[in-house]
């Protein structure tokens, strides 16, 4: 059996190595148009920023190491130009010589990846406008950023690459402006959660221009001018274009293979295309979302690796199937960590899914053990079925392991209340006896069974201000004096509530708030059992403050999820 693989990196290289482990006799040829067959794609921004200093560390396999270990023939700088499905041949060009030749196959795996979007803007082909996809791109950007004349940079796009490049270029002492067409960075998060990241990036010196579109580029006095709609142009030394990627599916399209949304390659759960002898994996393929059941495109290394393994299994006679993706991701944003899994509120609304949410601010580990940090968690679920829909967490230490637990819970079809029953590892330096994931389950259970009624930031504007309700702050005197939410003029600290309850009109609904949502929850339990109608503010004042200052377009620095636990 002869297997030809088009494209390396996560999907293609994984498939090649797996086939060899399963079939020692197979002839395996891997063709890669760049100069590197397998490299740490996600590490590229960190080489530019100097965190990874050895360029060789980016290369996971070379043609020589692939041959020596796996007897796989890997040819770099070889671009596949066409697929002839009838004769089961491909046309290949050696990029170094321009020579073309044909290569036969029994089974073909396409792993072409995704290519950066380059819109038709004036000046888009200026040599100082870079995109980041390959190791070669990395070296070009690194060389430009390292020159003594590079003092400023504009990042266009606020996705993974844009945010990582902003951090890494800023770490080189370059003044960075990030321009994003949407009103927030990192679209997998809801805007309220992204507000913590916006504040943190501003605090680190990144200039954010959100809700702004780049209109084109021009040059003057050896500088690059970034023209922005309805905003003053920006003069800069380099631009990194990171506005997103699209499936690199030209080969498949020209071969008349079935395509999915955004011209991605359509595959079944065994990674087969519409031609049973051709498979496709990685960023170019259409997959099924585990939560919505809808077809989607996910450009992440984890899914690509799994898909490469599954294609290899099927080719070698195993019955492996891809279970779909929850699009779990984690990202370093300076000294914060941002992680998500499943879907966010926007996606739930677009899919017509009726959802509930809980927002909490737990500590990364036991509060009495030094060094703890507060994280912000949002968990979405269906109230009736208790199906977990998604989660977003922003903070510092411990964010990654909590999102992994929640991603596992989604794939295992756990009910949200069952999160409270999980037996998770505990020691004071690592967690609390009631882990943040447990706490999310407890809160969701209280909502499901009517132990608490919640209200959210988006509800505050519509609350009546005619005296018909009571807006109650249950924090301490010192906390209240340092700032409180607009309209929350009634202040009774939680520990004084029982003896001062008579001050509250029992005929009026009470909307309670504290710093994180815990004390106001306790206050609502006290009041509810004494005949009051009480609603608890999800997320607490720290969440309110972050979102409110964001919505007010304030540049003031404020606590944004990295508070130290005293």
Residues recognised as catalytic: 42
Least Cα distance to 151 among 172, 181, 137, 132 occurs for 172
Least Cα distance to 469 among 540, 537, 543 occurs for 537
DSSP 386: -
Whether 12 contacts 109, CB under 8 Å: yes
Name 232's bridge partners. Answer: none
H-assigned helices in 316-415 = 345-350, 399-411
SS (H, E, C) 429-483: CCCCCCCHHHHHHHHHHHHHCCCCCEECHHHHCCCCCCCCCEEEECCCHHHHHCC
CA 452 to the chain's CA centroid: 31
Cα angle: 489, vertex 525, 491; to 5 degrees: 15
CA 527/CA 30 separation, integer angstroms: 68
140's CB contacts (< 8 A; 6+ apart) are 130
Name 109's bridge partners. Answer: 5, 279
Query: CB atoms < 10 A from the CB of 236, how many?
Result: 22
- Burial of 95 by CB count in 10 Å (0-12 exposed, 13-18 middle, 19+ buried)? middle
End-to-end CA distance of the chain: 64
């Amino acid at each position: 059996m002869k297997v030809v693989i088009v494209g390396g990196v996560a999907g293609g290289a994984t498939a090649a190595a797996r086939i060899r482990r399963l079939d020692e006799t197979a002839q395996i040829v891997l063709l890669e148009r760049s100069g590197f067959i397998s490299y740490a794609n996600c590490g590229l921004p960190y080489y530019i920023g100097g965190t990874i200093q050895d360029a060789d560390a980016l290369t996971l396999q070379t043609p020589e190491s692939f041959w020596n270990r796996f007897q796989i023939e890997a040819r770099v700088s070889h671009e596949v130009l066409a697929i002839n499905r009838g004769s089961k041949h491909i046309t290949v060009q050696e990029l170094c010589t321009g020579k073309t030749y044909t290569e036969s196959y029994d089974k073909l795996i396409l792993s072409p990846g995704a290519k950066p979007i380059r819109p038709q803007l004036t000046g888009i082909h200026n040599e100082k406008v870079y995109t980041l996809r390959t190791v070669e791109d990395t070296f070009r950007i690194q060389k430009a950023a390292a020159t003594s004349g590079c003092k400023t940079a504009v990042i266009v796009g606020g996705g993974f690459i844009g945010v990582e490049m902003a951090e890494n270029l800023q770490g080189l002492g370059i003044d960075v402006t990030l321009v994003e067409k949407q009103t927030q960075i990192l679209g997998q998060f809801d805007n309220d959660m992204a507000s913590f990241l916006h504040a943190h990036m501003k605090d680190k010196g990144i200039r954010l221009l959100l809700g702004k579109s780049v209109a084109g580029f021009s040059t003057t006095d050896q500088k690059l001018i970034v023209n922005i709609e309805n905003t003053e142009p920006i003069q800069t030394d380099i631009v990194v274009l990171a506005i997103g990627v699209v499936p690199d599916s030209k080969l498949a399209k020209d071969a008349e293979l079935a395509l999915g949304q955004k011209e991605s390659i359509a595959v079944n759960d065994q990674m087969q295309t519409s031609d049973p002898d051709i498979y496709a994996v990685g960023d170019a393929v259409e997959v099924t979302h585990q939560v919505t059941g809808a077809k989607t495109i996910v450009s992440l290394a984890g899914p690509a690796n799994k898909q490469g393994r599954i294609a290899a299994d099927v080719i070698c006679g195993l019955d492996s199937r891809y279970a779909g993706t929850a699009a779990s991701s984690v990202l370093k944003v300076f000294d914060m960590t941002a992680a998500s899994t499943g879907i966010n509120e926007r996606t739930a609304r677009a899919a017509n899914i009726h959802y509930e949410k809980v927002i909490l601010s737990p500590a990364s580990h036991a509060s009495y053990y030094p060094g703890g940090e507060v994280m912000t968690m949002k968990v979405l679920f269906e109230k009736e079925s208790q199906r977990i829909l998604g989660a977003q967490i922003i903070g510092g230490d411990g964010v990654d392991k909590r999102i992994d637990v929640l991603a596992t819970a989604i794939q295992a079809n756990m009910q949200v209340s069952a999160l409270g029953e999980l037996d998770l590892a505990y020691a004071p330096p690592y967690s609390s006896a009631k882990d943040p994931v447990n706490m999310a389950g407890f809160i969701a259970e209280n909502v499901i069974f009517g132990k608490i009624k919640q209200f959210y930031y988006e509800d505050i504007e519509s609350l009546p201000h005619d005296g018909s309700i009571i807006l109650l702050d249950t924090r301490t005197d010192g906390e209240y004096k340092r700032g409180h939410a607009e309209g929350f003029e009634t202040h009774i600290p939680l520990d004084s509530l029982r003896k001062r309850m008579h001050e509250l009109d029992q005929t009026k609904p009470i909307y309670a708030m504290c710093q994180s949502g815990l004390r106001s929850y306790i206050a609502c339990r006290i009041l509810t059992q004494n005949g009051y109608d009480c609603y608890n503010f999800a997320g607490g004042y720290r969440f309110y403050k972050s979102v409110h200052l964001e919505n007010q377009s304030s540049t003031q620095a404020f606590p944004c999820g990295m508070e130290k636990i005293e």
